[in-house]
A and B are shown apart, each in its own frame.
Chain A
């Protein structure tokens, strides 16, 4: 889309896909940009065509069934060539060290003061602003 976006970093783990097709363009600008409430003077042409509301994932029976089926399609016991006991052992070990391991989470705590630990909806932007982020489920 832009010159820089076309550049690819060679050999890296960080993927740098270059937006190219129409779908990528729509993905980037869909529902974005400044919208003016100016009564009749401003019209948004073509917006109806783009109102693809992919934002709200309703937690319904169907959704749960999807998760269950995704889970049961897997052969959970063949991950990484380990047997079940070994794999669970790894996980428990990993779980036990979760709170203390990782320089990254330490850095995060240092920066944020760990004030949003109970925010189950995920993290929130660092900016302390008067313009609050709109919730994804409002229209």
Chain B
């Protein structure tokens, strides 16, 4: 068994099926060769890691992502959080693969044949703000009364305007999200919220897309992007390893 010869630590990239380990070679954090720690049906992709060494955030992040992209192109992988390091290969089994083996096997099965895509919807701010304000006579009046006020002054009417606009935008977002996501939901396995953003952001989602549905997802989104382009910009990135679909396991803190 090719356990890594590590003295000071084991950097863990992700978990794959033991039967699906890619035969090719790959190098990861600190340019160390990626190796696999096997345990039953599972294997963790790891490399030697000097815990006393210098952390180069840029290089390490790039290497972490590169290895996971590389794995995801060849097999199904459960990505570990960036920066996961154990003392040695034994600890990988004891702490990571061992305790959750059954669940990890299920998770791998669920993820098989899929990729993550990130989808973001962004409003054309001026257009949508105008819509929500002009659609509400109360907000229109507040806007007219407060538009000449000097900026940064917490006038009560200004705060009421902001509160109203914020609530109206939230309703608009819910409505637009439901309409747009309803169209792609049939073609994805799952979708998750990502980071909530600024007032312009309609949604920021991770989609788990089966290989076979990729074309339909893209075609559907292209159609929607065309239909909505005066109000909303749609951005699709990926494929990525399923970073957003491996959290929330019961045995994970």
A residues with CB within 8 A of B: 1-5, 9, 12-19, 22, 25-39, 41-47, 49-50, 54-57, 59, 61, 63-72, 74, 76, 79, 84, 87-88, 91-92, 95, 98, 102, 104-105, 107-109, 111-112, 119-123, 125-127, 129-134, 136
Residues of A within 8 A of B250 (CB): 130-131
Nearest A residue to B49 via CB reads A45
Could you tell me the distance between the alpha carbons of A16 and B118 in the complex, rounded to whole angstroms?
10
Are A76 and B95 within 8 A (Cβ)?
no
8 Å CB contacts to A: which residues of B166-205?
Answer: 166, 169-171, 173-175, 177-183, 185-186, 188-193, 195-197, 199, 203
- Of B62, B149, B171, which one neighbours A25 at CB under 8 angstroms? B62
Are A126 and B252 within 8 A (Cβ)?
no
Residues of B within 8 A of A3 (CB): 73
8 Å CB contacts to A: which residues of B215-253?
Answer: 218, 221-222, 224-226, 229, 233-240, 243-244, 246-253
Count B-side interface residues using an 8 Å CB cutoff: 106
Given A12-B222, A68-B161, A34 and B246 contact (CB-CB distance below 8 Å): yes
Are B147 and A72 within 8 A (Cβ)?
yes
**Looking at B127, B131, B179, which has the most chain A CB atoms within 10 Å of its CB?**
B179
8 Å CB contacts to A: which residues of B43-63?
Answer: 51, 55, 57-58, 60-62
Are A22 and B203 within 8 A (Cβ)?
no
Could you tell me the distance between the alpha carbons of A112 and B190 in the complex, rounded to whole angstroms?
14
Could you tell me the distance between the alpha carbons of A32 and B246 in the complex, rounded to whole angstroms?
8
Are A42 and B86 within 8 A (Cβ)?
yes
Are B237 and A70 within 8 A (Cβ)?
no
Residues of A within 8 A of B95 (CB): 36, 38-39, 41-42
For the complex of A and B, list the 8 residue pairs with the smallest distance between their C-beta atoms, beginning with the closest.
A108-B182, A37-B253, A64-B162, A68-B162, A38-B95, A32-B243, A13-B225, A33-B81
Could you tell me the distance between the alpha carbons of A66 and B200 in the complex, rounded to whole angstroms?
12
Nearest B residue to A91 via CB reads B135
